[in-house]
Amino acid sequence: MTINKSPKLLLVIAALFGATGVSLGAYGSHGLSRWTSPMLVDYFQLAVTYQLLHSIALLALSILSIWITNRYILASQICFSVGILFFSGSLYLYVMTGRKILGAITPIGGLLLIIAWLLIVPAVLKIKNNKTNKMVSN
């Protein structure tokens, strides 16, 4: 099977988000509490949770895009990717640097994640029913 460049790239991005999420989660659980407050550890773990959850969604959507392509799926994948970077990334940077200005980016990331989920609706509605593509159940 040959995979187009776009799904392949987004599969790689999803895998990298997943791997870094696990790594950062381990650091947040074992090393972060040694030098920062419990509140900042909670922010960090929230960032990890959102990163991992949305990495799985991005991975599933990227797998789906191997067989089904439309502009809504691609837009959703982009929103998931940028949303993870903005939401989780801004929280990581806030915890590591203490710069509160980065908190202004967090809601933008959250909004992009919401939009990514909502874009799945028209993506699914746009899929045409085709008898040859239906799975047969016993």
In a domain, residue 133? The reply is: no
In a domain, residue 135? The reply is: no
In a domain, residue 40? The reply is: yes
Specify the pLDDT at position 127. Answer: 85
Q: Which domain holds residue 70?
A: 5-127
What is the full DSSP assignment across the chain? ----HHHHHHHHHHHHHHHHHHHHHHHHHHTGGGTS-HHHHHHHHHHHHHHHHHHHHHHHHHHHHHH---HHHHHHHHHHHHHHHHHHHHHHHHHHH--GGGGGTHHHHHHHHHHHHHHHHHHHHHSPP-GGGSPP--
Specify the pLDDT at position 130. Answer: 58
As for how many domains the chain has, the answer is 1
pTM for the full predicted model: 0.87
Q: What is the pLDDT averaged over residues 79-89?
A: 97
Specify the pLDDT at position 60. Answer: 96
Instruction: Quickly state the pLDDT bin for 132 (edges 50, 70, 90).
Output: very low
pLDDT (tens digit per residue) in 17-74: 999 999 999 998 888 888 888 899 999 999 999 999 999 999 999 999 998 889 999 9
In a domain, residue 61? The reply is: yes
For residues 74 and 71, give the distance between their C-alpha atoms in angstroms, rounded to a whole number: 5
For residues 73 and 102, give the distance between their C-alpha atoms in angstroms, rounded to a whole number: 29
For residues 29 and 31, give the distance between their C-alpha atoms in angstroms, rounded to a whole number: 6
Instruction: Quickly state the pLDDT bin for 75 (edges 50, 70, 90).
Output: very high
The CATH number of whichever domain residue 50 belongs to comes to 1.20.120
In a domain, residue 132? The reply is: no
In a domain, residue 136? The reply is: no
